[in-house]
Amino acid sequence: METGMFWNLLMAFACVLVPYLVADLLMNLPGARDEEGPMGSSVPAMYRKMKPLFTWFADRIRPDSLLLGAERAERIGKQLLLANWNIKPSLVAGAQLALCLLGGGGMLVAFFLFGMPPGGTLLFAGAAAACGWFYPTMKLADVAVKRQKALIRSLPFAIDLIGSAMRAGLDFNAAIRYYLSIGMGGPLPVEFGAMLRQSELGKSRIEALQEMALRVQTDSFTSFVDAVTHGIEVGASIVETMKMQGEDMRRERFHLAEQQAARAPSVMIFPTALFLMPAVFIMVGVPVYFQMAQSGM
């Protein structure tokens, strides 16, 4: 390979990788609180810093288009609630368009300046445009899934602790305040804090719990809210309800861990085939090849 072609390919790789790393760094910066949004929600740094550009593209997307149809907007909206991002689905679609055009257009300009062949220019420009297009939705889905798993892991302990505090004589809101005062990390205290503030601002306990269930989006917590709602309506003891629901959540968490453990062998097939098997073949085949070459075969 000629030296000039090597440096051109290296520059092409850098032109695709560096914008992705910059976008990922901006996305992972701590989110700022948005006073206009739901209590406790945040906005990723990338959307704050590039909001005018993303908004300009978002305003030009028709609501009934394939890019932002009703079904897709609803799906993105649920992921935004779960990820705790206080932005609209249209802004995510605007970010897709903006990053796609910036990635592809920037790559075209860079390659024409470096004198790359047209074929390679179009190939890497398409790769950069694809990265810009898929990055916002893939990052959103990744954050939503990780946050949901963190909520599922934290719920059994939180429900048991709140139930124990209620058995000690505290009411429901005071028990939640006690849980928050412990200073547990993770997204669950944020959700309980938002629910508690909504309850203090005038919403009923049932309404605040139901809105929290919409944000958490787990079957176990939805069942817990339904059980607490039914217990309040019929006058049953909330403490006993929370005890039973805590046991169900622990079983669900155990089943989730079993499923992940069962998936581990199938997940390891790809990295094993991609990284380990070629190394084994090289270690076994190279000495054989040299011996055959020395013997003149």
Reported as a single tens digit per residue, the pLDDT across 189-223 is 888 888 888 888 888 888 888 888 888 888 878 88
Task: Report how far residue 202's alpha carbon sits from residue 91's, in angstroms, rounded to the nearest whole number.
Answer: 31
CA trace torsion 267, 269, 274, 280 (10° rounding): 140
Give how far the C-alpha of residue 47 lies from the chain's centroid of Cα atoms, to the nearest Å.
15
Map out the domains of the chain as residue ranges: 3-147, 151-254
The partner residues of 43 in beta bridges, in order of sequence, read 32
- pTM, whole model, 2 decimals? 0.73
Look at residue 10 in the predicted model and tell me its pLDDT.
61
**What Cα–Cα distance (Å) separates residue 190 from each residue in 31, 63, 82?**
13, 32, 12
> What would the mean pLDDT of 21-42 be, rounded to a whole number?
58
Band of residue 8 on the pLDDT scale cut at 50, 70, 90: low
pLDDT of 253-275, one tens digit each? 777 777 777 777 777 777 777 77
Band of residue 105 on the pLDDT scale cut at 50, 70, 90: confident
Task: Report how far residue 147's alpha carbon sits from residue 216's, in angstroms, rounded to the nearest whole number.
Answer: 9
Band of residue 37 on the pLDDT scale cut at 50, 70, 90: very low
Look at residue 41 in the predicted model and tell me its pLDDT.
67
